Amino acid sequence: MTENYKMLLAYDGTRYYGWEHQPNTDMTIQGKLEAVLTKMTGMPVEVIGAGRTDAGVHAKGMVANAHMDTQLSEQEIYEYMNHYLPDDIAILEVHKAADRFHSRYNAVGKTYCYTLYVGNGKPLFNRKYVYVPDRLPDLEQMKKAAEYLTGEHDYASFCGNPKMKKSTVRIVDEITIKQTGSYVNITYHGSGFLQYMVRIMTGTLLEVGYGKRTPESMVDLLEAKDRSQAGFTVPAQGLCMMKVDY
């Protein structure tokens, strides 16, 4: 009997072309998961993810679901997947879910964290998971700018998809900026995020931190609804999906 399974997983996105299937490559997170589950069940399996992380982006708390017909227990599925998946993808939990559960449509919130390294040396062993800016930005100015970016807004200025036809209105209810030693974590929580949105917002906040923009200019930037008016897109490796809320 076919049942719906909910999976919690983590992955190092360094080698992959993002979550979603891409033409001419099998190096996607979705592709690797489906290949293992198809082998396990002996029939094609579609894996649905809570989000579509971009190439090079990591996850510590991605949620996915798949409808499968298998005699294996949840624990056996967990063990099978972790045995056959590459070492940079890990299944953390497997549970049966309601038949109508959909990891993307049922999600009510997501948390992403972008990490900067602002220490004096090289982040040798963390270099794949951080962005190293030229210098330490003014974090207090960035925090002021972040206040203007929270709430319910049209975030078209922070959307990396120029062909976006759906609504670009989202709710970002919290942006926190915290330095711990040589690292600065910028954490975003919201109802959902547009393509490259967190990375563009981070680049824009950094420009505020470098004095290239004022915190107050965020008001006009939101109203402009024009990607060319926002800041640069920070590299993918500093971004990690932390959690999905249901």
Given pLDDT bands bounded at 50, 70 and 90, which one contains residue 165?
confident
Q: Give the architecture (CATH level 2) of 109-245.
A: 2-Layer Sandwich (3.30)
Q: Which residues are catalytic?
A: 54
Q: Domain boundaries in the chain?
A: 2-97, 109-245
**Which pLDDT score is estimated for 48?**
98
Work out the average pLDDT over 158-169.
Answer: 90
Q: Assess contact for 172 and 186: CB atoms under 8 A.
A: no
Q: Rounded mean pLDDT of 29-38?
A: 98
CA distances to 34, 60, 91, 200 from 88, rounded to whole Å, are 16, 11, 10, 26
Q: Crossing angle of helices 197-209/217-224, nearest 10°?
A: 150
Task: State yes or no: pLDDT of 17 exceeds 90.
Answer: yes
Q: What is the pTM of this model?
A: 0.95
Mean pLDDT of 229-244: 98
- pLDDT value at position 88? 98
Q: Are 46 and 66 in contact (CB under 8 A)?
A: yes
Please answer whether residues 29 and 19 qualify as being in contact, where contact means their C-beta atoms are separated by less than 8 angstroms. Answer: yes
CA distance 197 to 109: 15
- Answer whether residue 1 shows pLDDT above 90: no
Q: Do domains 2-97 and 109-245 have the same CATH topology?
A: yes
Q: How confident is the model at residue 147 (pLDDT cuts 50, 70, 90)?
A: very high
Is residue 162 predicted with pLDDT exceeding 90?
Answer: no
pLDDT at 221: 98
Torsional sign, CA 82, 109, 170, 242: negative
For residue 163, pLDDT beyond 90: no
H/E element, 221: helix 217-224
133 Cβ partners below 8 Å, 6+ apart?
116, 118, 206
Domain 2-97 has CATH 3.30.70.580: yes
User: Residue 23's pLDDT band (boundaries 50, 70, 90)?
Assistant: confident
Average pLDDT along the chain: 97
Instruction: Quickly list DSSP for 43-102.
Output: S----EES--PPTT-EEEEEEEEEEEE----HHHHHHHHHHHS-TTEEEEEEEEE-TT--
In this prediction, residues 160-189 reach a mean pLDDT of 94
